[in-house]
Each structure stands twice: as structure tokens, then as C-alpha cells.
Structure 1
Amino acid sequence: MGLINRRDVFIEWGDCDPAGIVYYPRYFVMFDNATVALFAAAGLPKHEMVTTYDIVGIPMVDTRSRFHIPSRWGDTITIESRIAQWKRSSFDVEHRVFKGSDLAIEAWETRVWVGRHPNDPERIKSQEIPQDVKTRFD
């Protein structure tokens, strides 16, 4: 199954809408942070990874989610993140959010490993993901 990173997140008042539940776009910030934490758990802190592999980053190109249970101000949720699939220059991340033992959210991202375009440094271009990166998640 590979590396799974778990991250506890305390729900702040600013995360919530007037109904007192987490405003759904805030979850995508949490998922982005969880992906960065997953790479750090694999020994690839983002600030070092960008330099080591001469990439611009790992931008998200697709996402979706399924919400089962709302979270409210004062709750602590646990986000479990893992790489679901590696492709040549992209990869899929799966997040599962728990409130206690209850599954609250399932979310998926597709991200691309990108560097500067060789002919135009103002643009980005996908690159093949190095095998040693993938191996760190086994």
C-alpha cells in the first residue's frame, strides 16, 4: 500500500461558514498542506525537493471530493494521505479525512511534476518523475 501520512488538523473559526461548518474550499487548502506533509514524510520537504530536482513544483490539475460528515469549529480531524498511483509525469493522491473513527471526507488529486519549459522560462512543462522519488513512497 505504501507510505500513508497522518496529520491532525484543528478546525479554526476562520475555517467555517456562517452555519458553523467548514467552508468546503478550506478543505482544499488542508489537502494541499497534507500533500506537502506526505512528501516531507517521505524525506522530500518541498523546499528541498524543488532545489534538488530543479522543478517548479507539483501543481494540482484535477481534484474531486465526497463529503460524508461535516466538521465544525473546535473539531480535530485527521487527514490520511497516500499516493494512489504514479504515472510518467503525474501522480494521484488520495486523502481520507476522519472525525474520530468516522470517515468524513474522501478526496482525490492529480498533480504534475513540472519544471521550466526548455524554450521559454516563463512557462512550465511536465517532466518525468524520477524513480528515486517514487521509491521513497514504497
Structure 2
Amino acid sequence: MQVLELPVRFAHVDAAGIVFYPRYFEMLNAAVEQYFADIVGVDFRQMHLDRHIGVPTVHLEADFAVPSRLGDRLSIDLIVDKVGRSSCAIRYVIRCADEVRMRASATLVCMDLVKASAVPWPDDMRARMLVEASG
């Protein structure tokens, strides 16, 4: 499933004219934010301010295949592989057209922002995540 499309902007590139690797991680976070808003139905404002939960990344692995350059149009696929009681395993694929630029995998945890500890996914969110993970 495609979650996010975005152009490589000037702010994303380094002096060599390619995407500076930390900017990719910002793009992955933007894809997570879009996933929760569009697919799960709970945006980050609702999550953080109303429900007082967050979804920090607790594990992340990445492989960079081909550099991306200013003006490239990237698409980020976010695939939910597994939904646990309070975590989920996801994969990302960043492409420019049909060319894979980066692959990554991550674990997100549902966290109570007040207690700063993991909590079970709220039932409504978990149900939508499970539908996406099985589809």
C-alpha cells in the first residue's frame, strides 16, 4: 500500500546533492503519521493531545540502495507485518518510479505519554491495524 508521495526538496539534500540519510528517517515518520491519520483513523493531534498516547519507534533497520536527488518524486509504502498487544512491526519501501531507493523495517510501540510506558493499543485502533495487516 502506498502511504505517502513527496518530492525531494532542497532541505532534504546535502552538499553532494543527494538526500542526507537522516532526512529519510523524517520521511518515514511522515509516512507513519499519514498511516495513522488515513488508515487507522486517528491523527497525531488526536493521539497526542486527546488520547495522550504516542507511537515511538523503538527499533529501526535501514538499507540504502540508490541515492535520491533534488526534484525526485518519492513514494513511501508502509506495510504492517504484525500487530501485537502494544507494538507493531512495519516495513517501508521508498521508491522513485519503479526504482527502490531505500528499504527499512521498524517496531513501533503504543505509549502512554503521561506514564511514559507501553500500553495496549486502543481497541478501535488495533482493529483497523489488524485489518490492514491481514490485507
TM-score bin, normalised by smaller chain: 0.7 to 0.9
Richer in helix (by share)? 2
Moved over 6 A (4+): none
- Give the aligned length: 128
Kindly provide the amino acid, as one letter, of the partner of residue 133 in structure 1: M
Amino acid at match of 2:48: V
What is the rounded CA distance, in whole Å, between the counterparts of 1:79 and 1:51 in structure 2? 26
Identity %: 27
Q: TM-score, normalised by structure 2?
A: 0.87
Could you tell me which runs of 5 or more consecutive residues in structure 1 were left unpaired when the two chains were aligned: 118-123
Structure 2 segments unaligned to the other structure (5+ residues): none
Partner of 2:124: 132
Q: Does 1:46 align with 2:44?
A: yes
| SS of the residue 2:53 aligns to | coil
1:16-48 deviation per Cα after TM superposition (whole angstroms, max 9, x unaligned):
111111000000000001001011112111111
Q: Does the aligned pair in 2 maintain the 1:85–1:92 contact within 8 Å?
A: yes
Q: Which amino acid aligns with 1:46?
A: F
Assess if the C-alpha contact under 8 Å between 1:68 and 1:105 holds in 2. Answer: yes
Q: 2:72 aligns with which of 70, 75, 78?
A: 75
Tell me the C-alpha RMSD between the 2 structures.
1.4
User: TM-score, length-normalised on structure 1?
Assistant: 0.85
Tell me which structure has the larger Cα radius of gyration: 1
Counterpart of 1:110 in structure 2: which amino acid?
T
Counterpart among 58, 62, 66 of residue 61 in structure 1: 58
